[in-house]
């Protein structure tokens, strides 16, 4: 047990907003080895596959209850012309992926392959359309191709390519990073485009699109305000127009500069804490963008979608700089745990979040070895798995009765203990992180408003924050049962070793 004790109250019978399962969403771009070699190996591969899709990757992601997958980008989305990715593979035109590594893209993974992947995963597709270099007609046709039933030019084309039934597609992105790689537009310019594209992305039959406008970079609140203004007038009587139903936001955790972001596995304690400060900043950003949205939409009809988040390090030595391949340590896992605590607190406005990216790119769940094909689950993967019980659960407010320990990090103060809780199906799930690199802490939870039954706890930690998994040591960071939990009446006391992530599941009647 530790000298530092954080006391908190959970009123388990006072349910807050539901944590949308889609905040546990994912992102797969045609970038480096995310699609090719990651998700897709082709039908002739020795790696077990279904129609070219890696079955070990599918199995690992299904264990996370992966709710959605965003595709094909990212920056690639605004260069992608979907018609190049349908029909017989040998007839599909190739292109150069100028944004990512200048490599040739053969378009063998296209619309049908992506939808098959989503079906295997049991995940909802989230398609990002091309605003930057595409046309309204091209995007409108793609929606028709995917979702229309009966008879129409695009339906006939889809059927000719082997798919009778329409798919159901809800999440639809109107471009990506329109302020940057998606066309370098001003907020006003993009807002006009979003209205236009949103108009012609039709609801076919009973398929209802949830159109997501390309939102702000980090703290660009003006961008958010400009997009909100398009949807109607300021005030309580606000009834948003249907051009788009949500705005996105992108924010990456980078303790260094864009030129030198820091190494994924070699870092000192100062850099470790700076990383945590940068990760914690997402709370201020979600609050800021939500506040702007609240002015225009107090009824919270319009969703906020953080469709790119995660750590971004220098690429691994010897790999293509355009492939964004990085290792993933316990530090990354703690960044993920901290993000989720914050997401849970913003459940009233945050409807979706997508980690960048799922396989072999940035803060990945899964790394695959390009030579042997071996698959490694990263520490971040385990946080997604340990936290999956929060999906679609009612959030529970955490009221602190004592101060949380802090570390001075330059001009910033980092709270080193973070926690969040939810309730679903007679169980309360509490996630707790101790971000301190050296000191342990205890958290005493008083669960009021219900009787406390069985408790199951798991821990993710290792000897050092730099610890990571490799094909030779695939379980260097892996969850195990956590025994340092005691229950006295309604009080649950949890010991948190330094740099650890813990979940406690309590049966509550």
Name the site residues for ligand AHR (rule: CB under 6 A).
Answer: 29, 73-75, 176-177, 308, 356-357, 362
d(CA 483, CA 459): 9
The minimum distance between CB 75 and ligand AHR, in angstroms, equals 4
Nearer to ligand AHR, 42 or 256 (CB): 256
- Kindly provide the residue ranges of all beta strands, DSSP E only, lying in 264-388, ordered along the sequence: 303-311, 350-356, 366-368, 375-377
> Is 284 tagged catalytic?
no
> Is 177 tagged catalytic?
yes
Nearer to ligand AHR, 16 or 73 (CB): 73
The minimum distance between CB 306 and ligand AHR, in angstroms, equals 12
Nearer to ligand AHR, 244 or 312 (CB): 312
Nearer to ligand AHR, 30 or 390 (CB): 30
- For residue 370, give the nearest of 315, 312, 319, 322 by alpha carbon: 319
d(CA 410, CA 375): 39
The minimum distance between CB 293 and ligand AHR, in angstroms, equals 21
Of all residues in this chain, which one has the CB nearest to ligand AHR in the complex?
74
Token pair, residue 233, equals: 């007038």
The catalytic residue among 79, 113, 124, 308 is 308
The catalytic residue among 177, 284, 316, 483 is 177
For 475, counting Cβ atoms within 10 Å of its Cβ (0-12 exposed, 13-18 middle, 19+ buried), the class is exposed
d(CA 467, CA 460): 11
Residues 6+ apart with CB under 8 A from 488: none
- Kindly provide the residue ranges of all beta strands, DSSP E only, lying in 122-245, ordered along the sequence: 124-129, 171-174, 210-217
The angle, 0 to 180 degrees and rounded to 10, between the axes of the packed helices 187-200 and 221-230 is 40
The minimum distance between CB 480 and ligand AHR, in angstroms, equals 32
Nearer to ligand AHR, 60 or 77 (CB): 77
Scored b (16 or more CB within 10 A) or e, 231-241 reads bbeeeeebebe
The minimum distance between CB 106 and ligand AHR, in angstroms, equals 20
- For residue 31, give the nearest of 286, 335, 364 by alpha carbon: 364
Nearer to ligand AHR, 297 or 307 (CB): 307
Q: CA angle, corner 197, sides to 193 and 199, nearest 5?
A: 120
Nearer to ligand AHR, 105 or 308 (CB): 308
Q: What single string gives the DSSP state of each residue in 97-138? A: ETTTTTEEE---S-HHHHHHHHHHHT-EEEEEE--SSS-HHH
Residues 6+ apart with CB under 8 A from 389: 422, 424, 427, 429, 503, 505
The minimum distance between CB 361 and ligand AHR, in angstroms, equals 7
The minimum distance between CB 103 and ligand AHR, in angstroms, equals 15
d(CA 388, CA 377): 16
Enumerate the active-site residues. 177, 308
């Amino acid at each position: 047990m530790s000298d530092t004790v954080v006391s908190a109250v959970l009123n388990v019978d006072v349910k807050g907003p539901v944590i949308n399962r889609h905040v546990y969403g994912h992102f797969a771009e045609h970038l480096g080895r995310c699609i090719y070699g990651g998700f897709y190996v082709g039908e002739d591969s020795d790696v077990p596959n279904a129609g070219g899709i890696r079955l070990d990757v599918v199995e690992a992601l299904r264990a996370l209850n992966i709710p959605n997958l965003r595709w094909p980008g990212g920056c690639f989305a605004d260069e992608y012309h979907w018609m190049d990715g349908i029909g017989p593979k040998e007839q599909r035109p190739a292109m150069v992926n100028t944004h990512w590594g200048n490599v040739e893209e053969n378009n063998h993974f296209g619309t049908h392959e992506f939808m098959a992947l989503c079906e295997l995963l049991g995940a909802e597709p989230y398609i990002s359309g091309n605003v930057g270099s595409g046309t309204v007609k091209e995007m409108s046709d793609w929606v028709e191709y995917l979702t229309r039933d009966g008879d129409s030019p695009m339906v006939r084309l889809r059927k000719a390519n082997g798919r009778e039934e329409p798919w159901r597609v809800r999440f639809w992105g109107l471009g990506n990073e329109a302020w940057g790689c998606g066309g370098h537009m001003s907020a006003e310019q993009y807002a006009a485009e979003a209205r236009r594209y949103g108009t012609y992305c039709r609801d076919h039959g009973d398929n209802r699109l949830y159109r997501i406008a390309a939102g702000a970079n980090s703290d660009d609140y003006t961008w958010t305000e400009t997009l909100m203004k398009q949807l109607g007038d300021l005030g309580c009587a606000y009834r948003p127009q249907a051009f788009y139903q949500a705005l996105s936001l992108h924010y990456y955790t980078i303790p260094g500069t864009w030129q030198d972001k820091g190494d994924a596995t070699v870092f000192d304690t100062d850099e470790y804490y700076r990383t945590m400060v940068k990760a914690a900043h997402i709370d201020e950003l979600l609050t800021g963008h939500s506040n702007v949205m609240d002015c225009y939409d107090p009824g919270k009809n319009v969703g906020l979608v953080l469709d790119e988040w995660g750590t971004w390090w220098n690429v691994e030595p010897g790999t293509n700089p355009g492939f964004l391949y990085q290792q993933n340590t316990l530090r990354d896992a703690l960044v993920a745990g901290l993000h989720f605590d914050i997401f849970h607190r913003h459940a009233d406005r945050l409807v979706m979040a997508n980690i960048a990216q799922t396989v072999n790119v940035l803060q990945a769940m899964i790394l695959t070895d390009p030579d042997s094909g071996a698959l490694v689950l990263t520490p971040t993967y385990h946080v997604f798995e340990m936290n999956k019980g929060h999906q679609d659960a009612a959030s529970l407010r955490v009221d602190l009765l004592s101060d949380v320990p802090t570390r001075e990090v330059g001009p910033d103060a980092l709270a080193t203990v973070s926690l969040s809780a939810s309730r679903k199906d007679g169980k309360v799930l509490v996630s707790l992180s101790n971000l301190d690199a050296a000191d342990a802490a205890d958290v005493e939870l008083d669960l009021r408003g219900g009787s406390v039954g069985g408790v199951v706890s798991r821990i993710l930690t290792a000897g050092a924050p730099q610890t990571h998994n490799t094909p030779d040591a695939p379980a260097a960071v892996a969850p195990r049962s956590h025994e340092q939990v005691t229950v006295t009446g309604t009080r649950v006391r949890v010991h948190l070793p330094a740099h650890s992530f813990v979940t406690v599941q309590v049966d509550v009647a």
